[in-house]
């Protein structure tokens, strides 16, 4: 009698292999691709934290730039107001014996067409009158404020009291307001317009 031997392991047809309990799940596990598990700690360490650090660094740089430009604008306002005060005092103050030097020095604080018109007006009107009639003037800025200021231009409003004495007469005090425009020329603030308001 012939005994049927079970087929060799290699000769078995995988589709017709008799299943034993638990075999089916083993075969499915072996053939199905393994699902990737997300490692959240690595994602946070290498993705989120560096991105957050970059955003914070950019925000800090932006805020520093804004703060720096705000400080620069504030410095420009303060500086331009002081220059306008000093220049107005120089332009509106003179003595009959030194009027040429007084107003000549004031002209060094001016620029552009305004400098030329100031030089003509002082040469043709103020200097001759001051010498002939013994006119002296003293200006004092009582208040000043910045209207606008950029890196190369500023506008300032001045409230000026000018005391004028003609010969032996009693002094007269005249309050005035001026809108002063200053331009940055060669690293200096110079007056380019001086308009009464």
- 108 vs 186: CA distance, rounded Å: 13
Chain centre distance of CA 189: 18
10: buried, middle or exposed (CB in 10 Å: 19+, 13-18, 0-12)? exposed
- 129 vs 152: CA distance, rounded Å: 36
Query: What torsion, rounded to 10 degrees, do the Cα atoms 65, 69, 70, 74 define?
Result: 150
The pLDDT, as a whole number, for residue 39 is 74
Paired residues of 141 in beta bridges: 160
The pLDDT, as a whole number, for residue 17 is 53
The pLDDT, as a whole number, for residue 14 is 52
Distances in Å between the Cα of 110 and the Cα atoms of 63, 83, 91, 115, 123 are 37, 11, 10, 5, 15
Those residues whose C-beta lies under 8 Å from the C-beta of residue 165, and which sit 6 or more positions away, are 135, 136, 137, 171, 172
Residue ranges in the chain modelled with pLDDT below 50:
1
**pTM for the model:** 0.65
The pLDDT, as a whole number, for residue 146 is 96
Q: Is the dihedral of CA 191, 88, 72, 70 positive or negative?
A: negative
The pLDDT, as a whole number, for residue 10 is 53
- 170 vs 181: CA distance, rounded Å: 33
Q: Which domains does the chain have, with CATH numbers?
A: 44-196 (3.10.450.230)
């Amino acid at each position: 009698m012939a005994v049927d031997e079970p087929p060799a392991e290699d000769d078995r047809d995988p589709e017709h292999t008799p299943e034993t309990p638990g075999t089916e799940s083993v075969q499915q596990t072996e053939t199905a691709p393994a699902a990737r598990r997300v490692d959240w700690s690595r994602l946070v360490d290498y993705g989120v934290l560096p991105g957050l650090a970059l955003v914070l660094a950019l925000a800090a740089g932006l805020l520093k730039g804004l703060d720096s430009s705000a400080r620069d604008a504030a410095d420009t306002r303060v500086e331009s107001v002081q220059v306008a005060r000093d220049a107005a005092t120089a332009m509106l103050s003179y003595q009959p014996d030194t009027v040429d030097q007084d107003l000549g020095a004031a002209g060094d604080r001016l620029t552009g067409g305004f400098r030329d018109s100031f030089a003509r007006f002082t040469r043709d009107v103020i200097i001759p009158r001051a010498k002939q009639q013994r006119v002296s003037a003293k200006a004092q800025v009582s208040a000043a404020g910045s209207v606008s200021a950029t890196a190369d231009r500023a506008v300032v409003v001045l409230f000026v009291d000018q005391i004028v004495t003609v010969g032996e007469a009693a002094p007269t005090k005249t309050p005035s307001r001026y809108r002063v425009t200053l331009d940055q020329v060669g690293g200096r603030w110079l007056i380019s317009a001086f308009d009464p308001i």
